[in-house]
Structures are given as structure tokens and as C-alpha cells.
Amino acid sequence: MQNKEVDILVVGAGIIGASVGAELSRRGAKVCVIDKGTVGKGCSYGNAGWMTPCFAMPLPMPGMLIKSMKWLLNPEGPLYIKPSLSLDLATWMYHFMKNMNATQARRAVDALVVLSQKSLTEYEKLGRLYPETRFQQKGLMMVSRTQAGVAAAVEELEYVKDIGVTGKILNGDDIQQMEPALKAPLLGGVYFDKEAMAEPYLVVQALAKEIRQHGGEILENCELQDMEISGNRIESVKTSQGTIRAKQIVMATGSWSKSMAKMMRLRVPILGGKGYAMIVPTLEKQPQYPIMLVEKKIAITPRENTLRIAGTLELVDQDFTITQRRVESIKKGAKEFLHLPDDLQVQELWAGLRPCTPDGVPLIGYHQNLNNLVLAVGHQMLGLQSGAGTGLLVADLVEGKKPFIDMSVVNANRF
């Protein structure tokens, strides 16, 4: 057991906590990052590795209402909300429905694209320092076999093309030429040329190295268990390894944030968007590009000696169980587009909980009741692609600098 005093305590060493810790350490603060497990083993471990500003849409986009009703009925669909009587789910759904409007979606996308583009620049720099992150800016393809799928891809491009995201509409032949690993026939899609990918776990590990190299400290297996609050300040926190006093505390606890917040009597309505990723051996016809299979909502990421297939979003509350039926539907969906062998060997199967706020936008900023607490949570499907930018943003806030996005969009006190 030990007692410590630091400038900044970051709780959570996923992509968000590691990005915040690295940036504040680089700027000279005395930083301590704690995690109840080990660095980068939460949702940041096995995600698709995409750094794609083109995908900045929050979950409750207009038009989702009809779709969400369909998900309720299909437990094998790409997106699924299991009906339940939980009050947390009911509250979450209420805010989800309330936020499906065009004005809110536009403001959110504008801010999230900037956050993602800033992140992309940072990851490119990180990739030069740490080549093991395997940062590659190959672009990304959205492909489809249906009119509706092609229309969705084109709509995605239309929505972001005026805010600096570039892309090209492709027909089936164009796609086949660029990516012969895809099975014919294909109707069309979009190629976003500036999007990137990397190894998500190795990115967090590189950031951890940055923290240590700049004098910061990381305590693993160190759980925040309680805190001493006096007036509107957190005086100290009790962890499984002793007491820590910090001038400022950054909460970056991903899908665990709801229970963390309850400890502080704060309302943070975050549920987990469970998704799966499987690593399979390199295919005989291995894709060269990251590919989004539009109607299946499956993400294909080529890796050095393997392939990652990721997908599904099932709204849950701290439930990490693997539902084989949903895993099989990902395999089946991928097999319709790729030459997967009948006896596909899954080398690793992983489930992660995306930290989902009901309006699909993260909560970033100081809390109104506790003036030394900064929230950096709820990055839903975009945690990797907006992580490094969140690190810059939080560091700017802590230093009292003018933030580079409209902070009212990510307002930490909006629920």
C-alpha cells in the first residue's frame, strides 16, 4: 500500500486514458494512470483498428427509429437491443429516441470529424516513433450488393464531404479491380482515400511507453474503489493499492463509467455496445484494404499475418458473455463477401463493450459539481479514431486553453 500525490490522476488505461496520460505527460505534468486490469485490455484491445473520420455518425441518427424497432425483433441482426425491464435501459432508450434529430446529428458529426482528423494526425506521428503500431493510411472501402447499401455508402460520403473527408463513388467493377479478394457480384460503394488503420492494442502500448518516457507512472491492477469528496472537490481517491491525492482527476473508464459515476453521485448513462472480433489466418485471397460490408455492418481488417473480422452491436450492461449465434452470423456474413474456408480456424475470439451514451456522443469536460473532475468517457464506436484527439482536448482543458471543438456538443453535464 502506498500514498501518492500527483498533478493528474487518470483512471482507466484504455485508448482514452492512455491518450490523455501521454499528452499531459508530454506537456510536463506529473501524471499517474491507474487501471483495475492491465493497460489496453478493455474495449481498446481487440477493436477493428480503424481510424476513419468518415465514420463519425452518432448511433441515434435520424431514420434509426424504424431500424431500431427491427433490431428488437432480430437477435441475429447486426444491431440488437434486447428488451428488458431495466430502468437504466429505459432511461437510455428515452434519451436515444429524444436525440434522433437532424440538427443535433449535424453538430455532433461536425465536432467528431474534427476530433477524428486531429487524432489521425497524432497517430501518424506516433506510428513514425513506434512502427510496431503498424499505422497504415490505405483508405477504406464501403462495399455493397444492394441498391440500399450503395445508397447508404453514398449518403455517408455526402454527409461528410464538405467538412474535409474525401471519397470516391465506385461501381462494382471498380471495386473488383481494386480489391480482387471480394466475391462478385458487387453493385458499388465508396472508397474513402485518407482513412487509416493500426493495431489497436499496440497503439495503447505505444502511448503507455510515451507516458513512462515523459516521467509518468502507470499502476496496473489498481482499482479506484472510493473517494473522499469535500465540498465541490475530490480530495483523494482510495485505490486497491493505496490513497492518491491529485490536483485534477480524469475519468476514462469506458463502459464501466456508469458505476464509477454512481460512486460520485453523478449521472452518466453509459451502456455497453457489445461487439465481437475474431482473428483468422490469412486467406488465400487476402484483402488488401479495410472493408466495411455495408448491409452486414461487418468490418474486415487485413493484418500482417492474419485477418480481423469484427461486428455486431448488442446493448448490454456489463455483460461480457459470448453469444455463439451472433458470432456465427458474423462468420456467415463475411463468407458471403470473402473466400473464407469452410473449416475456418478462429485463432482468437474477443468481445468488447463500446461505451455508448444515448446520444452517441462522448462526454468530455469538467463536471459541474466536482470542479477537479474531468470526464472523458462514452466514445462508443469511435474510441480509437477519436482517442488521440481527446487526449489533446483534455490536456487543453486542464491547461485552460481554448478547446478546438465546440464543447457544447460533448458537454459532460448534459444528462
Ligand X SMILES: Cc1cc2nc3c(=O)[nH]c(=O)nc-3n(C[C@H](O)[C@H](O)[C@H](O)COP(=O)(O)OP(=O)(O)OC[C@H]3O[C@@H](n4cnc5c(N)ncnc54)[C@H](O)[C@@H]3O)c2cc1C
Query: Residue 14 interacts with ligand X (CB under 6 A)?
Result: yes
What's the min distance (Å) between Cβ of 350 and ligand X?
8
Angle among Cα 240, 355, 206 to the nearest 5 degrees reads: 65
Determine which residue in the list 42, 53, 302, 365 makes contact with ligand X, applying CB under 6 A.
42
How many CB atoms neighbour CB 225 within 10 A?
11
Query: Residue 246 interacts with ligand X (CB under 6 A)?
Result: no
Determine which residue in the list 10, 11, 120, 234 makes contact with ligand X, applying CB under 6 A.
11
Piece in contact with ligand X (CB under 6 A), picked from 6-14, 172-180, 280-288, 393-401: 6-14
67-86: which residues touch ligand X (CB under 6 A)?
Answer: none
What's the min distance (Å) between Cβ of 311 and ligand X?
7
Residue 51, SS3 per DSSP? strand
303-362: which residues touch ligand X (CB under 6 A)?
Answer: 310, 352, 354-355
Helices (H), 79-216: 87-98, 102-129, 147-160, 172-178, 200-213
What's the min distance (Å) between Cβ of 115 and ligand X?
11
Q: Dihedral of CA 148/103/99/300: which sign?
A: positive
Closer by beta carbon to ligand X, 157 or else 252: 252
Binding mask 357-386 for ligand X (x = CB under 6 A): ----------------------xxxxxxx-
Closer by beta carbon to ligand X, 139 or else 254: 254
Q: Is 344 exposed, middle or buried (0-12, 13-18, 19+ CB in 10 A)?
A: middle
Name the residue among 254, 319, 329 with its Cα closest to residue 298. 329
C-alpha cell belonging to residue 6 = 500527483
CA–CA dist 275, 320 (Å, integer): 9
Determine which residue in the list 17, 172, 302, 365 makes contact with ligand X, applying CB under 6 A.
17
How many CB atoms neighbour CB 345 within 10 A?
9
Binding residues (CB under 6 A) for ligand X: these are 11-17, 34-37, 41-44, 47-50, 223-224, 252-256, 260, 275-277, 310, 352, 354-355, 379-385
